[in-house]
Structure 1
Amino acid sequence: MHTMWKGTISFGLVNIPVKLHSATENKDVKLRQLHKECQSPIKYEKVCPVCDREIENDEIVKAYEYAKNKFVMLTDEELAEIQEENKERAVEIVDFVQLDEIDPIYFEKSYYLSPNEGGGKAYTLLRKALEDTGKIGVAKMVIRSKEQLAAIRVYKNTLVVETIHYPDEVRNVQDVPNVPEDIETPEKELDTAKMLIDQLTSEFDPDKYQDEYRTALLDLIEEKKNQDETTTATEKPKPNNVTNLMEALEASLDRAKKDNPASEEKKKAPTAKKATAKKTLTPKKANPKKQTRKRA
């Protein structure tokens, strides 16, 4: 199992070197978007709307938008310094509470804890103490550059970290629209609802639940594969050097014409002079009738 984080958990004078592992994984079926015409995957580019061009990663900086289009720039060095300061702090259990005192809305993500080298004895001590008291530990820790509030509890002989939302991260329930106030419920309807709940009550067995949508989608995909209903993305055409050269020459010529319009006028001017000169030098043909009259 991949180790995400290494550190120390402490309570009182007891220090436990531990490793953190993700306890859950997302198994959503990820679908790609293709161009309907050529079945090529759609590419998403980072484009600056002002410069009107694609931006490389080394051109991107981080900032906090404190008002509409108002930003505070933050350098990588400044962020790294804050992260380093937080990394140096050990994960300290600050309180022990009952698990049912924490509403499930606060829970975010689960991680397994395993002892690091030399931490087996202290790990077992904390696990046993939590089991005997029925308590969980509340601690602070930094995961992926974010300080997290966390609950440390026992799950099937293994210590588990449950990251917890801070109170200001949970939205005010009174902001939820259209929630009805207490409405008088007929006793008969309430009794019927309770009877239905009693009939459907059982012990929680997570193995009997499955993602039916995901299963049906995977079955459909497999069926299409078996029936050869597949497609292959069209390869991007390779650039033609000759075509690119001609386009570059034509573009350069057009630009030169725009940048130096006087040269075009000079080219046209000599042509007009030559035409005028030809008209001047061309002799007129003599009229034979006029010459005959003079001799007579």
Structure 2
Amino acid sequence: MQLRRAARLILIGAPGVGKGTQTERMLKRYPQLSSISSGDLLRENVRQRTPLGIQADSLMRSGALVPDTMILRLIRNALTTRGWLIPKGGVQPFTVNYSIASEAAPAEASGDNFFSLPPLGNAHDEQHEYEYSDHPDASFILDGFPRTAAQALQLGTLLPINMVIHIHTPTSIILDRICNRWIHPASGRTYNTTFNPPQIAGKDDVTGEQLIQRDDDKPEVWQARLKSFEENARPLLRHYERLGVLWRVEGSSSDEITPKIVEEFARRFGA
């Protein structure tokens, strides 16, 4: 299916709600959509030993968090490399073909090209340093960033996000989905005692070996994670609601939610 204009999406939802599943389905349905993952960009730049990757790696090795400014620079570089974000007064061709590796390579050649770009704007500045492409091929789903309202404000200095999808599944269903998950550690085979139980309780279907439940799948761990998400997401959702780009979808399963997302997305961006 074709798009008539650029879609710049963010999916917001609690852990276990199926954001990754929805992203995969959207990418398959709309070839003009790309996924831009802040985590993938960070790992690739560390692997490629770019100037920014070296700094990030040093921070992570020391146990420090990678600051928002570094993540924003990674995202900015990915967008400018693709030609979707253009420094005002500069000339940058529009490009469609792109890979993660291609965005890291120029840093090897030019030494410090991450830092030669114009500085990140102030979150409260009305004058942006960039122009952005509204071509349908400049459509993306941004994964992993922003997670807070402060990060969203900084992202807004680069370009406007024009659709934020809040995926909501009742907490009881998420807990049932995750906390009833059991794993065969040797193979990674996964079972769920609710909808995909093993043939013999507690045993792997293939080997008969004992199944285990990961520590981070236990109910008390997930309840804490869900509570933390709700607290952090509330200001973020309010921010995008004020901008008029927030849309909420609710359902008990990914299969129930997907058609609703596709219908609304097609209404807003479909050709």
TM-score band w.r.t. shorter chain: under 0.3
Tell me the TM-score normalised to structure 1 length. 0.18
Judging by fraction of residues, say which structure has more strand.
1
Higher relative contact order (CA 8 A, sep 6+): 2
Judging by fraction of residues, say which structure has more helix.
2
